Chains A and B, each alone.
Chain A
Amino acid sequence: LAKTTQPISMDSYEGQEVNITCSHNNIATNDYITWYQQFPSQGPRFIIQGYKTKVTNEVASLFIPADRKSSTLSLPRVSLSDTAVYYCLVGDKALFSGGYNKLIFGAGTRLAVHP
């Protein structure tokens, strides 16, 4: 499984765009990139998933360069409620036959949004 590296923490202000980058230098050909958001005392929840180029949904965008060795989660116009820990997860989307997908999370990025 590809190891991921993220900044430990970030600060922003309401209304700004926030970009959180995840490094995954040894990503495999079949690996997808998934981002999760976690609030205190809650389980992480899925934000967005992508394989290459750009993916956008109602809450975020995910930018993946051609070499796929990194990815950037973009949160447009953050609010105080976006204060949370964000995790980048890399792994194989394909069904594992006879194997296991351990789904190892990194330390995540603590985003603090200020008024």
Chain B
Amino acid sequence: AQSVAQPEDQVNVAEGNPLTVKCTYSVSGNPYLFWYVQYPNRGLQFLLKYITGDNLVKGSYGFEAEFNKSQTSFHLKKPSALVSDSALYFCAVRDSGAYTRGGSQGNLIFGKGTKLSVKP
């Protein structure tokens, strides 16, 4: 069964410091991996994705993520954190298997989320 683990409930970082939000995954085949951010009382906002190719993926707002197949990880990173980055971050995975009508490949499996707090 597919699953996503975000081992940290909360990450605290000082503004200007680098940040890392961790994610590990489990899928039967090759994964499609995503990061989303959720601000209070808002829906999820797409940040970046890994489908294939370069293991370092760059996304919105200066975020990037590194895909590591051997460690089954997809950690989210940013070189210099901003107070406005404070939010809830979700990692998600989708199986890259051939799409079939009625199958489960269309849905995303989410982690439980990591709250990022950036202090001035």
**Chain A bound to chain B:** no
